[in-house]
Amino acid sequence: ARLKEGLSKTKKNLTEQIENIVFAHRKIDDEFLEELEEILITSDMGMETTMDIIEYIKQEVRKNKLEDTSEIKNVIKKYLVNMLEEHEDKEPTENQQRVILIVGVNGVGKTTSIGKLAYRFKEQGEKVIVAAADTFRAAAVEQLKEWCTRADVEIIASENGTDPGAVIFDAIQAAKARKSDILICDTAGRLHNKKNLMNELSKIFKIVDKEFSEAKIDVYLVIDATTGQNGIIQAKLFSETCSINGLILTKLDGTAKGGIAFPIVNELKIPIKYVGVGEKIDDLQDFNAEDFVNAIFE
Ligand code: GDP
């Protein structure tokens, strides 16, 4: 219900416009498709994904002899669910320890998402450790400590200004010693010096690869849905440094830009793992392609 509520503006933005043109045109023809194309592009779907959708519709029209514009919503839904599901990834093997590195630009909701994730995993009975490796932001470390207290999980942090690599190293040793199920690592996100940021991240990835190679390593990028197309730019940037295999899309509650989810997955070929639908500790949900598309289109 919260996903539906959260996406209500995205739905309004997208489906009302589609319904208007469906009402104005009865037949799926070039003119209709042109208008649809414009709606999709202006609703954060982006050029590439819009073209993919239009191409898919044309195929479906030919294949199934579709004519009536009232069928269009279902065709779009089918395309989007398939596309989102196609990019879902593998689960860790049983008993394998996990490391989740959380990356993203400051302000997107990294700290909050880590708190929510730690809480979720803990609730599911997993042993969780959090590493506060964004050592440059004292406030972020403090905030993360608060989340960890609330979630009742251990946090590995050190004094401000220490090398983030050292925190990660300590956290990995702790995860091994205490046989944690999941180690969640915060990382720096100051974008004003792109090169430094990317260097720092790649140092962290190297340490994890070397020190904890037996673990299933996931890198999740946090994207703020309210920033629209900027999210794609950020995802492309981070992809240059690390192989991101999951996305956390935050602040879906109350934004009309939830449609950004589609071009991000379609262009970057990275699955969305979780969606943030509020500021509270339990406001993080598993991403489900069908539920998500239905919340917007139904
Ligand atoms: P960080 O700088 O990336 O660590 O971002 P924070 O975790 O500090 O979050 C920045 C702001 O976004 C805070 O005010 C959070 O409460 C807010 N925030 C994070 N996730 C969500 C979400 O899913 N929904 C809403 N409405 N706010 C969120």
pLDDT by 10s per residue, the chain, length 298: 788 888 998 898 899 999 999 999 999 999 999 999 999 998 889 899 999 999 999 999 999 999 999 999 999 999 999 999 887 776 777 789 999 999 999 999 999 999 999 999 999 999 999 999 988 888 889 999 999 999 999 999 986 668 899 999 999 999 999 999 999 999 988 877 888 888 889 899 999 999 998 999 999 999 999 998 899 999 999 988 888 999 999 999 988 888 999 999 999 889 999 999 999 999 999 999 999 999 998 8
Query: Does ligand 1 come within 6 angstroms of the Cβ of 277?
Result: yes
Angle at 164 between CA 94 and CA 281, to 5 degrees: 60
Atom from ligand 1 closest to the CA of residue 104: 3
> What is the reported pTM?
0.83
User: What is the C-alpha to C-alpha distance for residues 62 and 60, in angstroms, rounded to an integer?
Assistant: 5
Please indicate whether residue 251, judged by its CB atom, sits closer than 6 Å to ligand 1.
yes
Alpha carbon separation from 29 to 42, 48, 76, 176 (Å, rounded): 20, 21, 16, 61
CA distance 67 to 229: 33
Q: Is 116 in the pocket of ligand 1 (CB under 6 A)?
A: no
Amino acid at 220: Y
189 is in an annotated binding site: yes
Q: Which helix (H) or strand (E) holds 43?
A: none
* Closest among 212, 231, 210 to 221, alpha carbons compared: 231
The answer to whether the CB of 276 is under 6 A from ligand 1 is yes
ipTM over 0.95: yes
Cα of 234 vs centre of ligand 1, distance in Å, is 17
Please work out whether the CB of residue 250 comes within 6 Å of at least one atom of ligand 1: yes
Amino acid at 43: S
179 labeled part of a ligand binding site? no
pLDDT of residue 113: 98
Nearest atom within ligand 1 for CA of residue 250: 23
Sign, CA torsion 19/22/28/34: negative
Nearest-atom index, ligand 1, CA of 115: 7
